[in-house]
Structure formats: C-alpha cells, structure tokens
Structure 1
Amino acid sequence: MKASLVPSHCRRVGAGILLVALADFLFYGQPAGISAFIFAIVLAAAVVAIHPTGLNDARVWLKPAALFAALLPLVENVSPLSVLVAIAALAIFALSLAGRLRTRPARIARQLGLFLLAAPFRFARDFFRWRKVARQLGRPRLRLAAIAVWVMPLTLGLAFLALFGAANPIIEHWLSLIDLYALLDKIELPRLIFWLVVLAGVWAFLRPRLPRFAPRLRRVVPAAPVARPARISAEDVLFGKAAILRALIVFNALFSVQSALDATYLWGGVALPNGLTYAAYAHRGAYPLVATALLAAGFVLVALRSGSETSRDPLIRRLVYLWVAQSIVLVISSILRLDLYVGMYALTYLRVAAFIWMGLVAAGLALIVARIALAKSGEWLLSANLLTLSATLYVCCFVNFAATIANFNVDHSLEMTGQGVPLDFAYLHSLGPAAMPAFARLIEHQSKTTAADEPGYRALVAVEKSDKVRYLAAQESWRAWSFRDWRLLRYLDRQVPFVVPDNSQSQSPGR
C-alpha cells in the first residue's frame, strides 16, 4: 500500500459523494430519460479525473470515443438493454484507464463478468480492508479521535451561536425557523438506501479492481513488526492542533455572519425587518456580544499558550488574528448598539460603565494580538491589562459622570427637544448636586415654554431651590471643599435665581 493511498481515497470519496448528490437530483422520484446519459458522462469524467494517466497513450481519443458511442443508446431510449450496454462500456473504460484491461475479447469478457459480480461489494470490502491494513501498517485510520476532535469546536460554536441569537434578533429569528422534528420527519429510509446503493455502484468504477480469491496481505504487510505510535491523551485530541484549527475555522465563519449583519443594519443603515426597531436591535446585542468577545479571548489564550505547537503554526496564527479582529469589530458594534440605545432612551451609571467596560475588552483583545505577534509571556499580557485597567480607573477619577449623565439626559429629553423619552426626574434628582446645572437649564427652558403658574413648573423651581440651599449649607465647612465642588459653587454664584411670581393676590375674588 503506497504512501499516496490516503489522498487518493479522499479524492474517490469526494467524487463518490458528488455523484450520489447528482444521482439524487437526477433519479430519485424522477422519471428516467436523458438524465441517465448525463449521469454516465459525469461518471466517466470522474473516472478520468481519478486516473488521468490512463489517457497518456498516442491514441488518447479512442477510449472516450468508444465510450461515447456505447452511451448513445441511452440518448435513444432508456431500457434495460441500453443501461446494460452503458454499464459494460463504463466498466471496460474504467478498467482500461486503471491499466487492468486485457487485450483479447475472451479475457475482457471474463474480466467484465468478474467486475460486475464484485462491484456491489467493492465499497464495503475496501472499507474493512483499508482499516485492517492501516492498523497493521500503523497508518492513520478512522478512529474515535477523528470524531472527538470536533467536540470542542462544535460545543463552543453552539455557545457562540446561542450568544449571537441572544444578541441579534435576526439570528434568533433564523434559529426559530429550524424545526428539528420536521427535519427528522424528512429523513427517508428509502432515500438513504438509494444513496448507499448509488455510492456502492459508482465506487466500483472509481476504484476498478477485479476480485482476488486468495488474500495477499503478506505482500503488503512488512515482516518486521512496526512500532505503534505513542498513545494520545484525551486532552491532545480535544484541544490539540487539529481541534483548534477546526474551531478557528468554525468561529471565524460564525463571527463573519454576525459582523455582516451589523455592517448591514448598523453601519449600512438598511431598514430592519418588520416589527423590529433599532432600539430593540441595539439593546439585545450590547452585553451578549461583549460576553462573546470575552469567551473568544479566553479561547485564544488557551489555544495559543506560550511555547505550544499551535502558537508556532502560521495558519493558526493567521486565523487567530482574523478572529480577534472580528472580535474587536464585535465590541465596536456593541458600543454602537449601546450608543443607539442610549440615544433612544437615556444615560445611566450602568450604561456609562458598559461603555468603559467595552473599551477595556477591545483593548484587551488588541493586547492579545500584540502578545502573539511579539511572542510575549502570559505574565506580560496580565501586566499590560492591569496597567490599562489602572490607567482607565485613574482617568475616571477626574470625570464627573453624574454631571455628564444629567446633561445628556436633559439635552436629549422630550421636554427639551420635543422627541425622545420623558425625563426621569427621580433619577435626575438622585444624581446629586452635580445635576443642578442641568436642572437649572431645564427650568430655564421650561420658563420660556410653560406658564409660570403651572404646577409642574413651580414644583421644579421649588426642588431646585431646596437642593441648592441644602448643598450650600453642606459646603459651609472648609472640610467639605473639593475642586469639583469649588467649580460648582462658582457656577451657582453666577446663576441668576428664578423668581416664581405669586399670582394668588392678583386673582379676582370671583375665581
């Protein structure tokens, strides 16, 4: 058995699967006609692709021409006789390309008879024979590891798909259309049998062999025993190079779908499906996408450990770069989603924290790429993330988040712009003294659009006045001084107080 045996098997299996799909399209539940001729021509082309050296002689046109002439009865009429002629011609054509056809007609007839007798059993016999010979030669064969290597990619792939379903209503709608019970109902046992019969039939032509009545494995198996390969642990199978490569291919495909949807609906401005608003699309996706990016980062750290075989593989490194780049795009999309949601509703401390957290996640993903590209250690990555977090927290100490939230909510409220959502006065008041400038700006705006004696306006002025009095009283002690409070006090000193006229004396007694 030659070293090129496995690649040739892969080519034959691939060709066999394609021929089965073509046969299902042409024949299953369909009347037979010109489809038989088309299938025979495609089968002959597949035989040529498997044995291209069979057409190297000087009279290369003779074999295809003879086969074409033998297949012409299928064009005239599909009958048992024309089918038998076509099968015999295809068998002789395949044996000739494989270099196994004799020259005398009597011997050709004997070979043809043996070929047709063995054809239905060729696939099953080859399958078990290859497994036995591969085991004796210590060659790779179909084992449980070939299935187990997909466990981790498919498991994490389903986890990412579930997160995308939670983040994206469109993907959730697609998933809801999948009815597993309906799919199981569509599995037809007769169709499966048809596929197996077709595969067994075309396999005999893709690997034309004559039956051997005496086993000759002794010629294939070496006399000296071959040392068995070292035992592979379950961890090497589930998280080895092959599993990580498959996982990266699956994950990049899933992330590309999500990125394409965001590019279409968020960045491209394409109208969303009926019944779905941008606010709902944005709100659903912010936090699940950040969780997805964190899971992706954890996988990258495990997959490309320092000094591991996977960290040195160029293809895996390129796939990791692509996947991390897509993860960063997801985080940016999450920030845009949250920004859309805040624009539709309002800003809160939690949403500000979410913005900062998403930025830290994006920075962490970028640092992972830097760690891989620069071949740094895990300690370097941890230190870089801690420095980034420390710098972010330090900068946040100088940001007046309460004032930022209050100003944003007031400036984008229904009371100020005539659109959006009504202002949450209770939340605005809970922000403390930092919200007083925004409160004052709201009152000034209301004074131009609302009657001075309206109860709502009078209540706003009263709340603003009591908050100011309470704050100024607390600032009388020098111990309460801070630079932020000093700036607020200067603002309050410059502010012109609002005077609400008392209209009770001017009202007529008849009222």
Structure 2
Amino acid sequence: MTALFSAAPSYCSRFGVAILLAALADFLFYGQPAGITVFLFALLIAAAVVAVHPAAFNDGRVWLKPIALLVPLLPLAENVSTLSVSIALAALTVFALSLSGRLRHSIARIAGQIVLFGLAAPFRFVIDFIRWRRTARRFGGRRIRLAAIAVWVMPLTLGAVFLALFGAANPVIDYWLSLIDLVRLLDLIQLARIAFWLFVLAAVWAFLRPRLVRRIPRALPAVSAQAGKTATTIEDILFGKAAILRALIVFNILFALQTALDAAYLWGGAALPDGLSYASYAHRGAYPLIVTALLAAGFVLAALRPGSETSADPLIRRLVYVWVAQNIMLVISSILRLDLYIGIYALTYWRVAAFVWMGLVAAGLALIIARIALRKSNEWLLSANLLTLSLTLYAGCFINFAATIANYNVDHSLEMTGQGIPLDAWYLHSLGPGAFPALDRFLEHQGKTAAAGTVRELAGVRGSDEIWYRTIQQNWRAWSFRDWRLLRYLDTKEPFVIPSAIEPSMPGR
C-alpha cells in the first residue's frame, strides 16, 4: 500500500504535466505551420523534465545541463528540418536520462542508449499505465468500477434539468447558457485531433519517465574443448598473422595501381581511352570507391583487434598505415571525381550528401590510424566517429543547402557563363524559398537577353510562390532566423518585372 501511495503522486503529477504539454502542443502546432514554435516546445519539454525530477536539484551543477542542452536546440531556431529535429530529440533524450541518473559516460554507450530510448518511447505510456493498474490491484488500491461511474448518472441528469429550468426562469442564467456553443464544442472533437493529442502524450511521457528497453542476456553456448580447439585452428589459418600479412601486401599493390591511375587521369590530365569521357570516368568511380574504402576499414578493424598478435607486429602495422593512407587518397580521388561530375551535370541534394559522406569516410579512416597508433580500443574509435558525425550534422543545420545548390547551379549554368549545361530552372523552383535569390538573379539576367519570352512562365510561378511564402510567414509560429533573413532580402529587393512578349512590327509603321 505504501508503494502505491508513493508512486501515485509521481504518476499523477507527470500525467498532469503531460496533459498540459499536449494542450500547449495543440495551440502551437495543430493546423499551424512549424517554425520557432518547435524550439519553444523543446524548451517547454526540457523545463517539464526538470520539474518532474526535483531530486536533480541536489546536484550543484544541475544548471549546467540546461545550458548545455540549449546548444543542440539552437538549430531549431535557425530552421526547422528533419536534421535539426533529430538532433533536438537526441539532445532531449540525453538530458532526460542525465537528470534521471541513467546516462552512461561513454559516447558510444550514450548512442546506444538513445537508440534504446527511441525503441521504448512509443510504448512507454501504455506500459506505465498497465503497470500502475497492476500495482494498484496488488496493493489493494481502489479501482474505477462501473458502479462508481453510474452513481453520477442521476445527479448529473437532474442537475442538467434543474439548470435548464433555472435558465428559463432567470434571464442572467439564460444569457450565460446562450454563450455556450454546443455545436462548436462538438466540432472540436475530431478523430485527427484526438490522435494528435495521444501522439503528443506518448511522446512527452517518454521524456518525463525516461526508461530503456531491457536487453536480453546473451546465452553462452557450451562448447566442448575439442570444438574450441578446431575453431581456433581454423581462425589461425584464415585470419592468422601470416594470412593478414599476405593480404596487406596484395591489397597495397592493388590500391597502389588504382591510385596511380587516378594520379595519371584525374591529377595529371592524361588522355583517356577512346570513347570514355571525364564525366563517365568520374561518375563510375565515385561511389564504388567509397564502398571499397569502407570494406577496407572493416578489414583493418577485424585484423588489428586490440591485444591481438597481429596488432603487435611492427611490419603489419606499417603495412596497415600505408594501406589506410592509400584509402584516404582513394576517398580524396572520389571527391575529385564527384566534383568533376558536378561541374558538368550540376549540383543536387544527393550529390551534396555524397560530399559529406566522403568526408566522413576520410575522417573515419584517419581515426583508424589514430586508434592503432595510440593503441586505443574499438569503443574509443566508435565514440570518436560518433562525435565527428554529430558535429558534422550539427554544423549542417546552419547551412542553407537549398541556397547553396541554387547559387552553384546558376553561377555555373550555360546561360550565365556561356559554357556547361542549361540551367534546370524548374529544379531550382522545387528547392523552395531558399532558392529565391539565385532564381531572381537568373530571371533578371534572362530578362535582359533575347530569350526574355522564355522566362515569363517561370517568373509568374516565382511571383505566386512569394505570395504563398509571405502568407505563411504572417503566422508568428512559422518564424525562424533563416526565414527572417529571407524576408529581409525580399523586402529590400526591387520588384521583378515580367518581360512582355515582343510584338511583331506591322508593315508600313
């Protein structure tokens, strides 16, 4: 009974906070554009997590955690995107686990906790409710029975009758009753809105009561001594010191051949074989070489396990250094290949992502060398790679990729430079408002040329898009720093005049 009464206030208070957050989410998001409200709601969730963990105030450094949380939440104020929301959710997860005393101290283990938290979050509310009901039954707590609800039927029914009679007899009460719009109240009861509330309740409840999925203990199979001896012998033959040494020699020779070819054709400018263009050479090699580098990294990690015989051999370590260095050159070559391809076929979101991915692969290979040289564990390597990935994604939240792609494609288009390929203006239009400045430069340039008539349709669509964008931005919920900067540009830009069609001259005039 004591456990029930001690747990009930905790559940009830958290449930009340969750209901309040759901109501605020309804006001901020339901049927509204997403903008600065996402940042504000993340701050509200953080405040609620602090409020339901009063024991955290015993730590004198508790205020450092909200200050640290503000850093990963700042991308939401810059721009709301899938990336910024994902970073904010991960940061809120770490914050909630930290206040509840469940956070690990290794970056690799923290990443695992975030994954486990995400797996448990959709079911936490239902599981906690079922667990609370079972606890109430176990300790003899009072249950909500049908009879307890039925006893209110008669009082409420007669109360409604008396209230109607009072309204007929008293003009003041009748006026108050007339202010109640039952039809509008019924309109508020919508299945979509109920689903929205349930979704928000389940989401915020996971932060208010942060728990992780319980891991299933691994069952260690019983292996006989003879079987163990056989497995060891096979491992020594296939992945032993001699096999790894020979593999590294072969791999270094193969990679040296590939590096030499790239040095000749990409860096040295040697003529390609007949029928093969630089664009084809660049496109065919960019992505397969990255897969090759990843496989090479996996081989290095498997071959040079910390404490193994191969990791202590000086010759093998030197061969690994040379091979990983060749892999880094391979990634740099892939980046150059992609740059050549983009110089011919323009820039897209996927090609920007490929640049970022290749840079991360190169950083990962460099960290492998650091791990071997410093004799660190694979957990250290995983933590270092996760930290590099996190910093890269965080920095990406502040980069306007739509504007970057649009500016590059306009500046390198056939219409603007006289070389390259024609600009895919409709792809720029699909990039959204971030492409407005680059598209305006293109339209103004085309309006001064003989091809002015070809931009009339695009200019009309551009004007309609701006009207739609300004309408959305009139709602304060849609505000962000990026949109604020774009609105300042639109307000200071001179209005673009759609070029009129050239009328044919009449004879004799």
The TM-score with structure 2 as length reference comes to: 0.53
Of structures 1 and 2, the one with the larger relative CO (CA 8 A, separation 6+) is: 2
**2:365 corresponds to:** 365
- Distance (whole Å) between structure 1 residues aligned to residue 423 and residue 449 of structure 2: 16
1:236 Cα deviation after fit:
1.0
Residues 99-178 of structure 1 aligned to structure 2 (within 5 Å): none
1:497 Cα deviation after fit:
1.1
- Distance (whole Å) between structure 1 residues aligned to residue 474 and residue 508 of structure 2: 48
**1:498 corresponds to:** 496
**1:398 corresponds to:** 398
Residues 184-263 of structure 1 aligned to structure 2 (within 5 Å): 233-263=233-263
Go from structure 1 to structure 2 and tell me whether the alpha carbon gap of 1:451 and 1:380 turns closer, same or farther (over 3 Å shift): closer
- Distance (whole Å) between structure 2 residues aligned to residue 245 and residue 425 of structure 1: 54
**1:339 corresponds to:** 339
**1:322 corresponds to:** 322
- Distance (whole Å) between structure 1 residues aligned to residue 384 and residue 348 of structure 2: 29
Go from structure 1 to structure 2 and tell me whether the alpha carbon gap of 1:254 and 1:448 turns closer, same or farther (over 3 Å shift): same
Equivalences, count: 280
Q: Are 2:442 and 1:412 equivalent residues in the alignment?
A: no
One-letter code aligned to 1:394? Y
Contact 2:447 2:499 in 1 (8 A): no
Residues 258-273 of structure 1 aligned to structure 2 (within 5 Å): 258-273=258-273
Contact 2:402 2:432 in 1 (8 A): yes
- Distance (whole Å) between structure 1 residues aligned to residue 244 and residue 273 of structure 2: 36
One-letter code aligned to 1:484? R
SS at match of 2:408: helix
Go from structure 1 to structure 2 and tell me whether the alpha carbon gap of 1:468 and 1:264 turns closer, same or farther (over 3 Å shift): same
One-letter code aligned to 1:493? D
**2:458 corresponds to:** 460
Q: Are 2:439 and 1:439 equivalent residues in the alignment?
A: yes
SS at match of 2:448: helix
Go from structure 1 to structure 2 and tell me whether the alpha carbon gap of 1:252 and 1:501 turns closer, same or farther (over 3 Å shift): closer
Go from structure 1 to structure 2 and tell me whether the alpha carbon gap of 1:391 and 1:509 turns closer, same or farther (over 3 Å shift): same
1:342 Cα deviation after fit:
0.3
Deviations 1:445-466 (A, max 9, x none): 10221254x2x12112212211
**2:202 corresponds to:** none
Go from structure 1 to structure 2 and tell me whether the alpha carbon gap of 1:423 and 1:506 turns closer, same or farther (over 3 Å shift): closer
Q: Are 2:350 and 1:350 equivalent residues in the alignment?
A: yes
- Distance (whole Å) between structure 2 residues aligned to residue 425 and residue 346 of structure 1: 12
Contact 1:248 1:320 in 2 (8 A): yes
Contact 1:324 1:369 in 2 (8 A): yes
- Distance (whole Å) between structure 2 residues aligned to residue 276 and residue 501 of structure 1: 43
Deviations 1:121-175 (A, max 9, x none): xxxxxxxxxxxxxxxxxxxxxxxxxxxxxxxxxxxxxxxxxxxxxxxxxxxxxxx
**2:377 corresponds to:** 377
Deviations 1:268-292 (A, max 9, x none): 1111111111100100011000000
Q: Name structure 1 gaps, 5 residues minimum.
A: 1-229
- Distance (whole Å) between structure 2 residues aligned to residue 426 and residue 265 of structure 1: 34
- Distance (whole Å) between structure 1 residues aligned to residue 352 and residue 403 of structure 2: 12
1:467 Cα deviation after fit:
1.3
- Distance (whole Å) between structure 2 residues aligned to residue 422 and residue 505 of structure 1: 26
One-letter code aligned to 1:399? I
Contact 2:460 2:498 in 1 (8 A): no
**1:387 corresponds to:** 387
Residues 87-106 of structure 1 aligned to structure 2 (within 5 Å): none
Go from structure 1 to structure 2 and tell me whether the alpha carbon gap of 1:416 and 1:233 turns closer, same or farther (over 3 Å shift): same
**2:469 corresponds to:** 471
One-letter code aligned to 2:344? M
- Distance (whole Å) between structure 2 residues aligned to residue 265 and residue 471 of structure 1: 47
**1:279 corresponds to:** 279
One-letter code aligned to 1:293? A
Deviations 1:466-490 (A, max 9, x none): 1111111111111111100111111
Identity %: 74
Deviates most, 496-505 or 357-366: 496-505
Q: Name structure 2 gaps, 5 residues minimum.
A: 1-228
**1:99 corresponds to:** none
Go from structure 1 to structure 2 and tell me whether the alpha carbon gap of 1:336 and 1:501 turns closer, same or farther (over 3 Å shift): closer
Q: Structure 1 segments of 4 or more deviating over 2 A? A: 500-511
SS at match of 2:273: coil
Go from structure 1 to structure 2 and tell me whether the alpha carbon gap of 1:343 and 1:384 turns closer, same or farther (over 3 Å shift): same
Contact 1:450 1:457 in 2 (8 A): no
Contact 2:331 2:362 in 1 (8 A): yes
**2:126 corresponds to:** none
Contact 2:425 2:439 in 1 (8 A): no
One-letter code aligned to 1:405? I
- Distance (whole Å) between structure 1 residues aligned to residue 504 and residue 312 of structure 2: 88
One-letter code aligned to 1:285? G
Go from structure 1 to structure 2 and tell me whether the alpha carbon gap of 1:301 and 1:446 turns closer, same or farther (over 3 Å shift): same
One-letter code aligned to 2:237? V
Deviates most, 489-498 or 373-382: 489-498
**1:425 corresponds to:** 425
RMSD: 2.0
One-letter code aligned to 2:491? D
Bigger CA radius of gyration: 1
Go from structure 1 to structure 2 and tell me whether the alpha carbon gap of 1:500 and 1:508 turns closer, same or farther (over 3 Å shift): farther
The TM-score with structure 1 as length reference comes to: 0.53
**2:486 corresponds to:** 488
Deviations 1:73-114 (A, max 9, x none): xxxxxxxxxxxxxxxxxxxxxxxxxxxxxxxxxxxxxxxxxx
- Distance (whole Å) between structure 2 residues aligned to residue 451 and residue 338 of structure 1: 32
One-letter code aligned to 1:344? I
- Distance (whole Å) between structure 2 residues aligned to residue 316 and residue 252 of structure 1: 12
Deviations 1:195-237 (A, max 9, x none): xxxxxxxxxxxxxxxxxxxxxxxxxxxxxxxxxxx87611110
SS at match of 1:449: coil
One-letter code aligned to 2:466? K
